[in-house]
Chain A
């Protein structure tokens, strides 16, 4: 008994270790098998998901004849659509960033009456089908719309103009930026703002010199999301702005129009759109690469 106790040690650590070993021997093989099976299952699901996303993109490139794609870059329809898409999406993104940044900050930092309602309203375009958004914009800003009616009286017509394309894009893409910006501002520790204020910085100075730089990564991600959403916008644009070459026919609308005549042309347009989107997003990410800053204290 005494020798047994000496072997085990005063706190029973050896017997505990033996128990653990025993347990591992008993459950060892089945648990290892389970782990391997789990990993294999997860790997399979990952490959499946990747294939599901990659396959259509790969198919697009495989099916598009390269010479036709390059030739179509000189086609006036393509040039007009590409120019219009890049211009309107850039203006939209700048508008969304300028308008959305203060809204996102207020939403992240302040409590006010009707905040829940305001936040829900900001997110509404995400769940609203683009075609519905298009009709809604038409009945608001169209010639007979509730606001458009008065604007028309002043000689201002919005519907079926390039401005309508931008309005449609701002409407559908703003939540993508505001949601991301709101989260980024929420992540900025309040202590940074307080420190800046005790050092003599006004709220505006603090916002531009402390809060914005710390939240910058998230703001850039949000702007890229909004740009990508604008570039791909179709439903609201065709309903509210129409489909006029050089004026309202953006790349997605040109793809749709070309598809009704020649699938090859439509495929080429699609390739060009994918390539340009990728280049723009890649450039923005590369040029603005920064480190993530969350908390200076830790």
Chain B
């Protein structure tokens, strides 16, 4: 269980968020560009500091201003998939996925076996020697996810994981993403501004506006939030077949 209750003064508004995500639950964080979604993820990951508040993972505080606890990003064991994927361009696909294990001083044999498992599961074993910059958008997304999952994180954070993909690839990846994340059984927050992502991937959704959660509900309720919401993926943009997929999922 992830519990967040933080405040941070930003340039134009204050980020004030209180929410919780259960183990195995996918929370979709929706909102316009600049509403504080990525800042919130960075605070949870320990890449930015909140002004005050508390973040706890399974009851263990990773940030607590009252207790002056602030576990650094490298010790939080959080899997983070960045919007641009941030794959290390000088490394091969294999080395990218192995990176998190090497920092944890796993043995070479153990790293070899684990990386092979993850690369094969993601259909990336054949391209393991390719430089991470030379693969397709869909493969980059899988590499970034495998790299985040191989460390067996206690929490998953995904920032616009599908925005760099073309529309056809997005539809295919939504289902894949949902299944992969559910299999991990950890709390997960996915930032998006596309309602199709919310409906097809998420279990629950929160709408963030100028740093505050203004609406929250089941992922399937998103459509009832109305087309008047300032979202990129408005009612009219949601393809019917995507909802079929969501229903199936």
Contact = CB atoms under 8 A, between A and B. Distances in A.
Mutual binders A and B = yes
Interface of A: 189, 191-192, 194-202, 205, 209-210, 213-214, 216, 290-291, 293-298
B99 A199 contact: yes
B133 A191 contact: no
5 contacts: A194-B86, A197-B73, A198-B148, A205-B103, A296-B132
Nearest to A215: B90
Contacts of A202: 74, 103
Contacts, number: 93
A18 B88 CA distance: 52
B100 A297 contact: no
Interface string B65-102: 00000001111111110111111111000000001100
Contacts of B100: 199-200
Nearest to B48: A194
A194 B73 contact: yes
B108 interface: no
A191 B84 CA distance: 8
B87 A296 contact: yes
> Is the interface on chain B under 10, 10 to 19, 20 to 34, or 35 or more residues?
20 to 34
B99 A196 contact: yes
B147 interface: yes
B11 interface: no
Contacts of A198: 45-47, 73-74, 76, 78-80, 148
From A213, A290, A296, A297, name the one whose CB has the most chain B CB atoms within 10 angstroms.
Answer: A296
A298 B87 CA distance: 10
B177 interface: no
Contacts of B104: 200
B151 interface: yes
Contacts of B99: 196, 199, 201, 209
